[in-house]
Amino acid sequence: MNGRIERRDFLSGLVLCLSWQPTEAVAQASSRTFRIGDLHPARRETVRGWEGELGKLGYVQGRNLVIERRDAGGQPDRLPALATELVRARVDLIVATGGDAIVAAKGATSTIPIVMAYGAAPVERGYVTSLARPGGNITGVAYAAEGTLIPKRLELLTQAVPAARRIGIPDDGSDQFRLVLREAETVARRLDVQLVTVDARRGQYAQAFADLKAKQADAFYAGSSPIHYQDRRELVALAARYRLPAIWEWRTHAEAGGLLSYGAKVAELEARIAVFIDRILKGANPAELPVEQPTVFELVVNRKTARALGLTIPPAVLLRADHVID
């Protein structure tokens, strides 16, 4: 295998709403100016993928679109107050990224539509009544509809690094981490590995990795955190410095030097978020818009990183990989 190997060309894998045509949205873009609230726990990038997709649908900031940004700066406990600010700003819709932001938006309003981005287990966590009929003011895209991707990622990590018996898992300071840890502990028992937790809030990453090394962690499970996604380059660099093989959430992590990643395609999820925004702004009722989820996930293996760590990825894992970086 030389260079970057694409094993198969995935279709989007996202269900429902596929009959919608973007040309229709562009043609119908209203002359009215819409105000969107953007609630995020840790924004660093100034433009989100769904913002670019909205441009393709005829929404232009300064002409018919205003985005009210509220960034918690890596401090999830600020999200409820920020959500209240958006409600007071009389936004037409709130995009809430990640579990804590979704909970904060839900607590701030029961009438303003909320488009969830990257929620997990939305029925179990009470965001919606059901996937097919959300039933309230929340709908959107869930990256995992039932539970999370923790079992699959931990299994892949232990298969790629069979010698790993102690696996580090970072606490980003969010309430959702408690749910993540509970599920991870269940999977760890089945896999006969021990989890090592460390405080990994923004600004404490270097100490977190030093603690993992002191606790003799053999590998690192990055988890699903919007905060850690924004800080991915710093985290990947620290994992390399401390020579910890790790599995990450998105392909961009592996492309930045992470050993493994397993998740859906971010660009496709962002495009579907934009579709939800567009439909709701045109009058659709979020209670009746089914929650969408990816059905296809990709495993990316960075064999260059494996060599730097002195690891040989087992052939069985390489054969399952959708993309290998050499």
pLDDT digits (tens, 9 = 90+) for 221-238: 987 778 888 888 999 999
Tell whether 22 and 110 lie within a shared domain: yes
Give the domain range for residue 214. 150-263+298-325
pLDDT digits (tens, 9 = 90+) for 271-303: 999 999 999 999 999 999 999 988 788 999 999
Q: How confident is the model at residue 135 (pLDDT cuts 50, 70, 90)?
A: very high
**Structural domains of the chain, count:** 2
Tell whether 167 and 126 lie within a shared domain: no
Tell whether 195 and 48 lie within a shared domain: no
Instruction: Work out the angle at residue 57's Cα, subtended by the Cα atoms of residues 55 and 61, and round it to the nearest 5 degrees.
Output: 35
What is the distance between the alpha carbons of residues 326 and 307, in angstroms, rounded to a whole number? 9
**Is residue 116 in a domain?**
yes
Residue 134 has pLDDT above 70, yes or no: yes
Tell whether 95 and 231 lie within a shared domain: no
Tell whether 307 and 280 lie within a shared domain: no
What is the distance between the alpha carbons of residues 101 and 115, in angstroms, rounded to a whole number? 11
**Is residue 200 in a domain?**
yes
| Backbone dihedral angles phi then psi of residue 99, each to the nearest 5 degrees | -60, -45
**Is residue 180 in a domain?**
yes
Tell whether 205 and 309 lie within a shared domain: yes
CB-based contacts of 23, cutoff 8 Å, min separation 6: none
10 versus 295: which is more confidently predicted? 295
Tell whether 154 and 247 lie within a shared domain: yes
Buried b (16+ CB within 10 A) or exposed e, 25-61: beeebeeeebebbbbbbbbeeeebbbbebbeebbbee
Buried b (16+ CB within 10 A) or exposed e, 137-174: bbbbbbbbbeebbbebbbebbbbbbeebeebbbbbbbb
Tell whether 245 and 136 lie within a shared domain: no
Average per-residue pLDDT for the chain? 86
| pLDDT score, position 291 | 95
Tell whether 139 and 183 lie within a shared domain: no
Buried b (16+ CB within 10 A) or exposed e, 94-123: bbbbbbbbbbbbbebbeebbbbbbbbbbbe
Q: How confident is the model at residue 148 (pLDDT cuts 50, 70, 90)?
A: low
What CATH number is attached to the domain comprising 133? 3.40.50.2300
**Is residue 109 in a domain?**
yes
| Residue whose C-alpha is closest to residue 317's, from 210, 207, 160, 107 | 160
Tell whether 96 and 51 lie within a shared domain: yes
**pTM confidence score:** 0.80
Most confident of 117-121, 228-232, 268-272, 306-310: 306-310
Tell whether 211 and 246 lie within a shared domain: yes
Tell whether 276 and 186 lie within a shared domain: no
| Stated length of the chain | 326
**Is residue 293 in a domain?**
no
For the segment 143-147, the average pLDDT, to the nearest whole number, is: 63
| pLDDT score, position 180 | 77
